Amino acid sequence: MALLNFRREARPATPVMPEMEEFLEGYSIETMPRTAAKVEDFRLLLPARTRVYIAHIEGTPIEEMVATAARLRREGFEPMPHIPARIIRDRAMLADWIERYRGEADLRQALLIAGGVARPHGDFHSSMQMMETGLFDGFERLHVAGHPEGNRDIDPKGGERAVMEALRWKQAFSQHSDAEMAIVTQFAFEAAPVIAWVERLREEGITLPVHIGAAGPAKLQTLIRFAIACGVGPSLKVLQKRAKDVTKMLLPFEPTEFLGDLARHKAANPDFGVEAVHFFPLGGIKANAEWAIAHGGRAAIPAAQA
C-alpha cells in the first residue's frame, strides 16, 4: 500500500489581525521547573515582564519551584507559581513556602488552586481555605481557577452549582482584599461556550476579570491526550473532528480560530469580561512564543541585547 506523503509548505506571512494583536496584549504563559531548565534564556522567547505561571505538580520539591521563580525574576519576568491547597500539610508549611518565595524570588503574585489531588495531604482542600489564613496579605495579585466547561472535581454530577458558589465567594473576598484578582481558566477549543460562560458569570454577579486559557500549537494527539486528562468538556469535539481528517491529522493544531473568534467578539463588545490570554504551551514554549509573535504578540528582545 502506498504511503501518503505529507510535506509542510512554507507558509506566507499572514497579515496580523488588529483585533488579535490587541487581544494578545499582556498574554501570560505556563512552565514547570523541569521544562524551564531546558530553556536557555526566556528573554529570547518572551516579551519582557511577561507573567509566567509555574505549575506545581505533586512531588515537585519546593526548592525547585522557588529556584525557577527566582530565575524568572532575574531574567525580567513576573513569576506566578501555582499554590495547590491539597498538597500542603498545614498553615506552617504554607507560611514557609510563602516566606521562601518572597525572600528568594521577590514574589508578588500567585495562582491559588485546589490542586489535582484526590485526597488532601493535610488541612487544606480548597483555595478558599488558604485565602482565609491571611498569609497572602500584601500580595499585589492573586488569581483563582475557572472552568468554562465545568469541573467534575467540584461538581461530580455535572452542572456548575458548586463552581459558581466558589466563584461568588472569591468575588466577595476580592472586595476586601488589596490584591488585584482575576480568574484564569482551563484551556478550551471553541469560542461559543466560553462566551456563554463569561456572560453567565456577569449574570451571577461575578465581575472578576477572566484570563482565558488557550492551548498553544501542538500535535493533535498531544492536545487530545491533555484535554482528556484535564477534563476539557464539549469543545473537545473540535479536536475529534480534526482527527477524522487525515490530511490535517499530522499538522500542528493552532489556536488561531479559537482566539480569533474571541478577539473579534471582544472588539465588538468592549465590556466582554475576558481581559487577557493565558497560554498552556503543550507543544513547547518556543513554538507557542513564535505563534504569538506571528499573530501580533510582542516580540522578545533580540539576542544581542539579552
Question: Shortest CA distance to 25 belongs to which of 44, 47, 7?
Answer: 47
Strands 210-215 and 274-280: parallel
Question: Shortest CA distance to 194 belongs to which of 213, 208, 166?
Answer: 213
Q: How far apart are alpha carbons 82 and 84 in whole angstroms? A: 6
Written as tens digits, the pLDDT of the chain (306 aa) is: 333 333 333 344 567 889 999 999 999 999 999 999 999 999 999 999 999 999 999 999 999 999 999 999 999 999 999 999 999 999 999 999 999 999 999 999 999 999 878 789 999 999 999 999 999 999 999 999 998 876 666 655 666 788 899 999 999 999 999 999 999 998 888 999 999 999 999 999 999 999 999 999 988 777 777 666 666 665 566 666 665 554 455 567 899 999 999 999 999 999 999 999 999 999 999 999 999 999 999 877 654 455
- Report helix angle 62-74 to 91-105, nearest 10: 30
What amino acid occupies position 232?
V
Q: Which residues contact 97 (CB under 8 A, 6 or more apart)?
A: 62, 83, 88
What the chain holds in terms of domains, given with CATH numbers, is 19-295 (3.20.20.220)
Q: What is the signed CA dihedral for 187, 80, 114, 38, rounded to 10 degrees?
A: 70
3-state helix, strand, coil in the chain (%, to 5): 40, 15, 45
**Residue found under cell 522578545:** 300
